[in-house]
């Protein structure tokens, strides 16, 4: 029995009353277009990471060359310097990779994983500062006494850290503007934390204030501010780029 639509028309009958009429052949231009197609090159898994890393490192390297090193650098234990640099750089690499490198077999990075890694990196930095801060007696500067002097010292270091983080954020927008449809806020947490951690790594060699309060508020706090700024700004900037 031939099926019919609600109006009683025979659904097995094609145009012009012909049953099971063959589809018309494709036009020549369509065949030519299909024949000229080639495979789309997939995104390199570490391509975005490498681009943002290369662009973002320019600021810290310039700072390392032009800005005076901390006055107590020679008096600090070399092992501690290596460990401190490794901790800050480890937080940077982990956060940046979480923000930009997809898991094997995926196309985009995991937004939920990125935010978790960014927050964990900030927590690890805070733990290191509280547990393993080192000062050279008589050479390292203590945290300033009083709330306002302490705040001023923290703002000074945050003012160094945030511009470095901003470069990483802008570079991240450039590489993510066409490949990140959702999860931008959580990716921004990790991207901001990465830039902040790189700024903090630079401060390891430039800031002579060894007091825990300053390091926790001015250095780790600066990373937290960079992460918050990334969470707020990345969706806005990506939306603007998409217009």
Give the separation between CA 222 and CA 98, rounded to whole angstroms.
20
Percentage of residues in the chain with pLDDT exceeding 70?
81
Tell me if 17 is assigned to some domain: no
Percentage of residues in the chain with pLDDT exceeding 90?
65
Tell me if 171 is assigned to some domain: yes
Give residues with Cβ within 8 angstroms of 236, minimum separation 6: none
CB contact at 8 A, 3 and 11? yes
Tell me if 30 is assigned to some domain: no
Burial letters 109-146, b for 16+ CB under 10 A, else e? bbbebbbebbbbbbebbbebbeeebebbeeebbebbee
Give the separation between CA 227 and CA 20, rounded to whole angstroms.
62
Give the separation between CA 141 and CA 155, rounded to whole angstroms.
16
Give the separation between CA 70 and CA 182, rounded to whole angstroms.
42
Tell me if 156 is assigned to some domain: yes
Tell me if 209 is assigned to some domain: yes
Tell me if 127 is assigned to some domain: yes
Tell me if 29 is assigned to some domain: no
Helices within 67-183 (DSSP H only) = 78-100, 111-132, 147-176
Give the separation between CA 49 and CA 55, rounded to whole angstroms.
10
Residues 156-211 have pLDDT tens digits of 999 999 999 999 999 999 998 877 657 899 999 999 999 999 999 999 999 999 99
Q: List the domain range (segments joined by +) for residue 226.
A: 47-242
Give the separation between CA 151 and CA 141, rounded to whole angstroms.
15
Q: Quote the number of domains for the chain.
A: 1
Tell me if 33 is assigned to some domain: no
Q: So what's the pLDDT on residue 45?
A: 72
Give the separation between CA 111 and CA 123, rounded to whole angstroms.
19
């Amino acid at each position: 029995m031939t099926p019919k639509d609600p109006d009683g028309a025979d659904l097995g009958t094609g145009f012009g009353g012909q049953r099971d009429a063959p589809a018309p052949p494709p036009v020549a231009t369509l065949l030519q277009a299909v024949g000229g197609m080639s495979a789309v090159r997939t995104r390199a898994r570490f391509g975005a990471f490498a681009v943002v890393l290369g662009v973002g490192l320019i600021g810290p390297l310039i700072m390392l060359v032009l800005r005076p090193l901390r006055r107590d650098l020679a008096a600090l234990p070399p092992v501690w310097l290596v460990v401190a640099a490794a901790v800050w750089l480890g937080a940077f690499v982990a956060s940046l990779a979480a923000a930009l490198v997809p898991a094997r077999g995926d196309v985009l990075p995991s937004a939920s994983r990125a935010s978790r890694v960014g927050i964990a990196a900030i927590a690890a930095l805070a733990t290191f500062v509280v547990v393993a801060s080192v000062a050279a007696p008589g050479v390292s500067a203590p945290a300033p006494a009083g709330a306002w002097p302490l705040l001023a010292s923290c703002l000074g270091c945050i003012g160094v850290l945030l511009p470095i983080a901003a470069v990483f954020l802008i570079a991240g927008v450039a590489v993510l503007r066409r490949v990140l449809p959702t999860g931008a806020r959580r990716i921004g947490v990790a991207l901001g934390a990465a830039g902040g951690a790189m700024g903090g790594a630079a401060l390891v060699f430039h800031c002579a204030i060894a007091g825990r309060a300053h390091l926790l508020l001015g250095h780790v706090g600066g990373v937290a501010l960079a992460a918050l700024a990334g969470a707020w700004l990345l969706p806005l900037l990506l939306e603007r780029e998409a217009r």
